[in-house]
Amino acid sequence: MLADLSGKTALVTGGASGLGRGICHVLAECGADVAVADMNLEGARKVVGEVSEHGRRARAFQVDVTKEASVRKMVDEVLAAFGKIDILVNSAGVIGASGFEETTTSREEDWDITYQVNVKGTVLALEAVAEHMKARRYGKIVNIASHGGRQGGPGGGAYGASKAAVIHLTQSFAMDLAPYNINVNSICPGAIWTPMFEQIAQRQKRNDPTLKDLTPRQIFERLIEQRCPLKREQTPEDMGKMAAFLASEDATNITGQAINVNGGARMN
Ligand SMILES: NC(=O)c1ccc[n+]([C@@H]2O[C@H](COP(=O)([O-])OP(=O)(O)OC[C@H]3O[C@@H](n4cnc5c(N)ncnc54)[C@H](O)[C@@H]3O)[C@@H](O)[C@H]2O)c1
């Protein structure tokens, strides 16, 4: 077994899709019960059905991470259902506002939504769960950042800047929560094939005539070939394995870190 999470309860935001879904699977495989929280309740319920096949308890919860009342209600519901939260993974995220695929730069609405979901949403969930973890003097928090948060690039920068903020706030909370035996780390994925990356590939296709005959999936594969020294794609389950490690006792002395899981695409 990768990491022993037997008897632990994990709450995963953004658990209905992409990385969050893969993380739910791996945490359950490692023995954790899983609360799958997402704005998309139907999607969360589907993941609960899949996760239950690993023999763990799982339940779906609806949440809008940008709204404090919604987050607090969700945390209360998870505590009522499971009795405790040992692990929080913040995976809920957005690349931009509606119409992102048709843009070349970040609009006001892209700055607003990326900061609301990726930054404020992470903080609201983290703070609500940390209150409970502090009382128990135990907790493992994993924020999904991005290697795009380590280095600026073309395209407007709202998403990358929001992920730089996630890396930064991970360090701040790691300092504040260390006295309570709570570890806070972030994972920096590269490019992972999910509905979010499909949006990115569609934007690239629209803006680059040389990509016009390629499908979004082919654009993704080309990117991996060109940018990834290992020349193979990383999966949501790879992010789950890192999250499971960070949530395990094997990582008890790791906190405040941002760990690339990107096949070497960026090495900073
Ligand atoms: N896919 C990639 O290449 C990649 C790379 C680096 C980082 N990430 C990060 O990984 C995380 C997951 O991305 P993904 O690729 O799986 O995307 P995705 O679109 O497949 O999943 C995102 C999930 O977040 C949920 N969500 C969005 N806004 C929400 C809100 N306000 N409240 C609650 N849930 C909300 C969505 O319903 C969805 O289920 C994000 O934080 C993303 O920035 C993704």
Domains of the chain: 9-191+235-261 (3.40.50.720)
Give the ligand 1 atom nearest the CA of 16: 39
219-268 pLDDT, tens digit each: 999 999 999 999 999 999 999 999 999 999 999 999 999 999 999 999 98
How much distance in Å is there from the Cα of 19 to the middle of ligand 1? Answer: 7
To the nearest 10°, the Cα dihedral for 78, 27, 240, 232?
-140
How confident is the model at residue 235, as a pLDDT? 98
* Tens digit of each residue's pLDDT (9 = 90 or more) over 227-237: 999 999 999 99
**Band (2; pLDDT cuts 50, 70, 90):** confident
Phi, psi of 11 (to 5 degrees): -110, 125
pLDDT digits (tens, 9 = 90+) for 10-57: 999 999 999 999 999 999 999 999 999 999 999 999 999 999 998 999
- What is the rounded distance in angstroms from the CA atom of residue 73 to the CA atom of residue 150? 33
Q: Is 9 helix (H, G, I), strand (E, B) or coil?
A: strand
Taking the model in full, what pTM does it have?
A: 0.98
Output the CA 64–ligand 1 centroid distance in Å. Answer: 13
Told to judge if 138 belongs to the known catalytic residues of this protein, a careful annotator would answer no
| 8 A C-beta contact, residue 197 and residue 189 | no
* Residue ranges lining ligand 1, Cβ < 6 Å: 13-14, 16-20, 38-40, 43, 63-66, 91-94, 117-118, 121, 144, 146, 189, 191-192, 194-197
Phi (first) and psi of residue 248, to 5 degrees = -95, 170
